[in-house]
Amino acid sequence: MKYVYGVLLTILVLSASAQDGLKRPDIPGELMVDIGFNVWSSMPGALEKRTWSSKSIALYYTKRKAFSSKLSLNYGVGFGLEKMSLGDSSTLFSNLMVNDTLQSVFIGPNTQNYDKNKLATTYLDFPVEFRFHPMGTEDGEGLFLGIGGIVGLRLNAHTKWKYDNNGETVRQKVSGKFNLNSFRYGYQVRLGFRGVHVFYKRFVSPVFKDTFEDGFNPVMTTVGINVTGF
């Protein structure tokens, strides 16, 4: 997480320098930043979701290959940081002994009244899409519609809790696998201009490796806005 935030800070510095008239490095590509909200299709067990605090930030380095003035292929690589707010009634535990059985993921009731209860995951993503420019374009500017896919490799995951313990604020971070799928894949749609547009991502791969006892294994949808061109 820290190194990703470091990259974002570098982008802001370069952008500010450009506005002051300083020369930016000539990078043969572009940096894209996706900012949005995450939604699971279902919530296993007693888990709850809070959409407005379930956020997504993705940072991609992308390149463009033009086939004509109206059609191009955009592809890249980057990091996807996903946070899912789990409410305050139950949370996830990884590699926990339950009734003398080791479970790779277990939904258990919160022992505290949590102010924050989140599952955070980081992925190495490979997005690719075809972009159609109805008015034509030279370097990718102007109105476009993008349709494509995305594949990701999970790098790490952790839960993060914040609660009050006898007047003292406690913050706890627990790393684990939580029976999460190692890979994710799905499709994406983008609409707007080159510099700013909206996006919709649907990961059709289940979030977890195994279905829970109640039959639920959610898939994730992310919607938001993108800024490109740093």
Q: In which band, very low, low, confident or very high, does the pLDDT at 57 lie, cut at 50, 70 and 90?
A: very high
- pLDDT at res. 18: 46
- pLDDT at res. 17: 47
Mean local confidence (pLDDT), 152-165: 91
Mean local confidence (pLDDT), 16-39: 72
- pLDDT at res. 65: 95
Q: Is the pLDDT at 21 greater than 70, yes or no?
A: no
Quote the CA–CA distance of 108 and 93 in Å, as a whole number.
Answer: 7
Label residues 164-193 b or e (16+ Cβ within 10 Å = b).
Answer: eeeeeeeeeeeebebbbbeebebebebebe
Single pTM value for the model:
0.84
For the chain, the average pLDDT equals 85
Which domains, and CATH codes, for the chain? 30-228 (2.40.160)
| Stretch among 80-84, 117-121, 163-167, 192-196 having the lowest mean pLDDT | 163-167
- pLDDT at res. 46: 83
- pLDDT at res. 113: 77
Q: Say if residues 221 and 39 touch (Cβ distance below 8 Å).
A: yes
Question: Which of the pair, 28 or 172, is modelled with greater confidence?
Answer: 172
Return the structure tokens found at 161: 């809790």
- pLDDT at res. 16: 47
Q: In which band, very low, low, confident or very high, does the pLDDT at 215 lie, cut at 50, 70 and 90?
A: confident
Question: Which of the pair, 39 or 12, is modelled with greater confidence?
Answer: 39
User: Hey, what amino acid is at 36?
Assistant: G
| Stretch among 152-161, 169-178, 215-224 having the lowest mean pLDDT | 169-178
Instruction: Convert the pLDDT of each residue in 65-110 to its tens digit.
Output: 999 999 999 999 999 999 999 888 788 888 766 666 656 777 877 7
Beta bridge partners of 66: 72
Widest distance between CA atoms in the chain = 66
